Amino acid sequence: MARVIVTGANRGIGLALTELYLANGWQVLATVRDPSSAEALIKLSEQEASGSLAIYELDVVNYQQVNALARTLADVPIDVIINNAGLYGPKGYGFGNCDVEAWREVMEVNAIAPAKLAEAFYRNLQLGEKKIFAALSSRVGSHTENTKGGGYIYRSSKAALNSVVKSLSNDLHADGIKTVALHPGWVKTEMGGPNALITAQESAIGLKSVIDNLTDNESGSFISYDGSKIPW
């Protein structure tokens, strides 16, 4: 049975990805910061009589916790890792109004934590068959498409994440591990808001399709949920 790790799996895109992979016969290792409050995920687990869903407590910036989970899952083959956990940070932070502490927090969650996650579960990916590390980015992290300015905190964190994904593609190439930065679209979630264009389920379907069809030549790429390439 193919196996995937999904971080931030308790709601939104993470929950939709969890549901989709389960429906397609995968075993899902779902991580959340507070399992006791992940009601939808717990309900989903109760419905999975096959035991295909396992829920783990994980704060992606708690690196001791990350390493402890990696030890728990030692020698368990992982086909795909999807780092969905992310942080937007405060809104309305234009030029001259950037909260430095908030910036540090967003940068750690969105860029440093995914790199540490890749390090921690590198051995698991080596043991898997598909060997893909995917990280949810955002097209606002594209330098080319930044024509309006602003958004310093979130933009810079996703641009940094893209750089992490690109470096991982080079460093892990010899092990047959592919990496990809994924734009999920403007999604109707707590972060995306009610005016967004697509549902979490529509985003998840597109993201899974991109991951399923990722080629060696596309490793290190920046790809939208609809399969289109996004310029750096």
Distance of alpha carbon 17 from alpha carbon 13, whole angstroms:
6
CA atoms lying within 13 Å on the CB side of residue 100 = 0
Does 48 score more than 80 pLDDT? no
Does 179 score more than 70 pLDDT? yes
pLDDT digits (tens, 9 = 90+) for 161-175: 999 999 999 999 999
Structure tokens at 174: 């010899």
- SS3 sequence, 104-115? HHHHHHHHHHHH
Q: Is-contact 46 63, C-beta < 8 A? A: no
> Which has more pLDDT, 224 or 51?
224
Nearest Cα to 107, choosing from 158, 32, 141? 158
Enumerate domains of the chain plus CATH numbers.
3-224 (3.40.50.720)
Distance of alpha carbon 229 from alpha carbon 232, whole angstroms:
9
> Which has more pLDDT, 50 or 164?
164
- pLDDT value at residue 96: 86
pLDDT digits (tens, 9 = 90+) for 52-102: 999 999 999 999 999 999 999 999 999 999 999 999 998 766 788 889 999
Q: How confident is the model at residue 49 (pLDDT cuts 50, 70, 90)?
A: low
Does 193 score more than 80 pLDDT? no
- pLDDT value at residue 92: 67
Q: What is the pTM of this model?
A: 0.96
* b/e map 202-229, b = 16+ CB within 10 Å: bbbebbbebbeebeeebbbbbbbbeeee
Distance of alpha carbon 168 from alpha carbon 111, whole angstroms:
12
Q: Is-contact 198 150, C-beta < 8 A? A: no
| H or E element in which residue 149 lies | none
